[in-house]
Amino acid sequence: MNITIEKMNRSHISEIAEIERECFSSPWSENALSEELDNPNARFFAAVAEGKTVGYVGVHSVFGENYIDNIAVTSLYRKKGIATALLKFLEATARDEGDLFISLEVRKSNEKAIRLYEKLGYKRVGERKRFYTMPTEDAVIMTKELKK
Ligand code: COA
């Protein structure tokens, strides 16, 4: 399967909002996603396969620090390396910019996402108690240093 990673543009927004609704209890709306198109600190990338948007990653980047807001792949396209491709693309972009690190929070129970990040070299660096709602849950903070 051919996957392309594209900088998010208006044509991706409705399908990304659909992926958000499928994957998260507090999904980002189309409006919230559209606002990121004009945000100079945002790096949002879409994964496109078979003519549709099947995954995305959204990051906020300030002074060389990258914070992942969300990453998701629609269920029919999971376990095909799409999240890996998105994260590798993000990392290459961050390295090109000379950035310091990429960091994220993940629900403590989300073992498959934690495995994904560990496989790509992210380390557990801490926890945030009761970070998530619906349901309430602690977050694990995972970070990949880029300068080492
Ligand atoms: N069970 C166990 N490990 C899994 C897994 C699963 N169902 N899915 C992914 N992984 C881990 C494995 O280590 C996998 O490597 P492998 O295929 O060699 O075993 C690695 O992640 C890479 O998988 P990949 O195919 O690139 O991931 P994906 O495209 O399926 O996307 C998620 C992974 C987590 C983004 C996807 O399951 C998803 O969208 N989940 C719902 C949203 C979510 O939880 N986002 C994370 C928020 S922090």
* Residue range 108-116: mean pLDDT, rounded: 97
CA separation, residue 50 to residues 1, 47, 86, 99, 109 (Å) = 8, 10, 16, 32, 31
- Token code pair at residue 17: 């909002």
* Probe target for ligand 1 pocket from 5, 21, 28, 73, with the most ligand atoms within 8 Å of CB: 73
Query: What pLDDT sits at residue 147?
Result: 79
Residue pLDDT, tens place only, 62-89: 999 999 999 999 999 999 999 999 999 9
DSSP 84: H
For residue 112, report the distance from its CA to the centre of ligand 1, in Å.
5
